[in-house]
Structure formats: C-alpha cells, structure tokens
Amino acid sequence: GAGVSQSPRYKVAKRGQDVALRCDPISGHVSLFWYQQALGQGPEFLTYFQNEAQLDKSGLPSDRFFAERPEGSVSTLKIQRTQQEDSAVYLCASGEFPGELFFGEGSRLTVL
C-alpha cells in the first residue's frame, strides 16, 4: 500500500479482555516500530522489528504486552488482560534503518 495501515482505528474493550492491533507497513520497509501515545504527550517507544526479528522490546510496559512480525511484513501488537491504564493510542511506524519514520493513523484503545 501507499502508507502504513493500522486496524482497528478504534477499539473499546472491557477490563480483562484481550485485544489485538494490526499494522501493515509500507511495502519493502524492513524496520517496524510500535509506539504508545497518551493524551497530550509524545509517543513512547514500545518495540522495534527488523524484518521478523524483534531487536528491542525494552519499552513494553509489562508481560501482558506482546508483539510479533512472523513473516517480516504485517505486525500484531497483542495486549492480554487489558487494564484501564492501557488506554492510549497505539501508533505503528515503518522505515529504513536509520532513517525517516512513516506513521499510520493509530489505533485508539479505550479500556472500560
């Protein structure tokens, strides 16, 4: 596709439910990043893939968060047993390393 595509754009989950957020990066980009953005703040790094290898997951806030990119293209961020503090916008970006980042529109998660 022409840009980074994320789905769903909006997700409402009850506390304790599992959610899965999908990111389809720009074709050919080997690097893929997940960021979390709270209201009024800049994005915070979660994890980084180069092809299918997860090179850095230091930003994942707990072991309830899991990300994968099994074939080096589409990535899924999974959050188990969601908590209210997980409510945020989850942004995916792709790019070359090192180089310009291209972001998707984000997935807004609200946990009730």
Partner 1 sequence: KQEVTQIPAALSVPEGENLVLNCSFTDSAIYNLQWFRQDPGKGLTSLLLIQSSQREQTSGRLNASLDKSSGRSTLYIAASQPGDSATYLCAVEGQVAAGKSTFGDGTTLTVKP
The residue (of 50 and 80) whose beta carbon lies closer to partner 1 is: 50
Instruction: Determine contact, residues 68/92, Cβ cutoff 8 Å.
Output: no
Q: Tell me which DSSP letter residue 51 carries.
A: T
Q: Which of residues 93-112 bind partner 1 (CB under 8 A)?
A: 93, 97-106, 108
Q: Which of residues 59-78 bind partner 1 (CB under 8 A)?
A: 59
The residue (of 14 and 42) whose beta carbon lies closer to partner 1 is: 42
SS3 102: strand
Q: Which of residues 11-50 bind partner 1 (CB under 8 A)?
A: 31, 33, 35, 40-45, 48, 50
C-alpha of 94 from chain center: 11
The residue (of 69 and 104) whose beta carbon lies closer to partner 1 is: 104
Q: Is the preceding peptide bond at 61 cis, omega within 30 degrees of 0? A: no
Least distance CB 62 / partner 1 (angstroms): 19
How many other β-carbons are positioned within 10 Å of the β-carbon of residue 99?
9
